[in-house]
A and B are shown apart, each in its own frame.
Chain A
Amino acid sequence: MAPRKKTPAGATPATKTADGGATAGEAGVIGERDRVTLQKITDLAFNALAEVRRGKNPALSIPVRALSNVSFDQEAGLIRLGESRQSRNFFHLKQAKLFMQTFLIAEHCKKLIEAGATTSIRDIYYGAKHSVAGTKENTFEEQAESDPIIEDLEVTIDALREELHLRAENRGAMVGPMTIRDTGDTIDLRRMGSGGWSIPSIVEDNRIEFMKTEAEYILFIEKGAVWARLNEDRFWQKNNCMLLHGSGMAARGTRRLLRRMHEELKLPVYVLTDNDPWGFYIYSVIKQGSINLAYESMRMAVPQARFLGLMSSDAERFNLQPNVSMALKDEDSARIEQLMRYDWFAAKRWQEELALMKKTQKKYELEALSSRGIRFITEEYIPQKLRGRRGDSWLD
């Protein structure tokens, strides 16, 4: 069951599967979970109206999604959202438009829920985009404007993205010895060809069900190219593992799927990324959650995930030649400094790895391992890492 920060009354996990979901077939029938979400949106609007009727400046109280308002829960291994909230007022030069946009998104989400439809966040951007009455100005100029508003709405009314009937584009892929049911269709993840099963944005149990698996662990790979190499070698078959990639930073769907498989199927998660601060951070997001989505850490993070590399110390360990390295750029160095200050990178081994990267001024892509041979990664690197000791071969 998906853990929630706060479980709103009426939306208990038990009722979720039964009520939730917004498949086309259920259109017009509003379930309990949707009813709660609708009520939250309506309350938000009535509150603003009540304030303004008293001559006051209507305000939305939005939890702050920034480093200043997250804390690292050492015990749970999670990044948690703090208590501070910021006020978004309508009668404010710089907030008026944001305030209006928030209600525009809320209005569209309400319509989606009532229609029992789900759209992508790109759809809602187009749906809510129009010119502001009497001007040439648009309600939203680009999707980059509406995306954070959606997140604001999620945290403000404490509703999940799927509860707002929104999804992102599919991102990332999975193959492996497992059968799943995806919105009614049974899919054998062993027979996905070279592209794999594309991971959707919403992977809740009402849509994705895990049927049968022989997998013993999950290997998450940052890059699609390296994942393709492993898939070509049928690495998952030989090693009995689920093989995922996130096309870079893992999207919500991918993270939620990792979490569910880890939790429901009791599979350990291993992460393989480039050796650079960005790769390190992708790992940390899978493991502890992100600053921006700290309110969803609890249902997305896999605190037991392990980092297989590349580590800076792997260069020596696997005898990588200097000519396969890349020089750090200024932005890389700055990012290293930032990571070194994050509480969830405070562990000694991580500080050592970051310090080493800083000292050598070198980074390595996963593909650098191919310099040791085409199958080096599948036949030597990963098996050796999986067998090795904590702190040496892999990091927490």
Chain B
Amino acid sequence: MRTPFEHAVARHGAVVLRVCRAVLGPGADAEDAWSETFMAALRAWPELAEGTNTQAWLVRVAQRKCIDLIRARARRAVPRAELPESPSALGLPGEDEGEVWRLVAALPERQRLAIAYHYLGGLPHAETAEIIGGSGASVRRAAADGVKTLRRRLAAAPEKEEPR
């Protein structure tokens, strides 16, 4: 690519952060995955073919970085069956809109990943199915079910923070 890398960060930084948060939760791991994604993308940027779909390319890089972080997390801690539903100490107090990401973290894994790569990251359902298994149709369903549940829980959440 001949365009300044800064444009890619400005244009796609938020999408990549959404993907990382949906996969890893609202805490520091998602931010580390974001940083590693853009560092790796920066190194590869001059060689990336013109006309590449930059967002999809970045989401794929983010997916690999998230897997790396999940593996690292598994090495350093005993995995838990469920993520905490109460406000997480991992979140940065006062700095994130936490609620929605905590609710995403509480969804079944398949719905969470379908939301991350397909719904938020914009990868085609067929490609998402290659990443998370199952068929394209089931990815579509998992994302739709997850979003429906989220909307219901957000509406039910007492004292939900006004998103900015």
Q: Do A and B come from one complex?
A: no
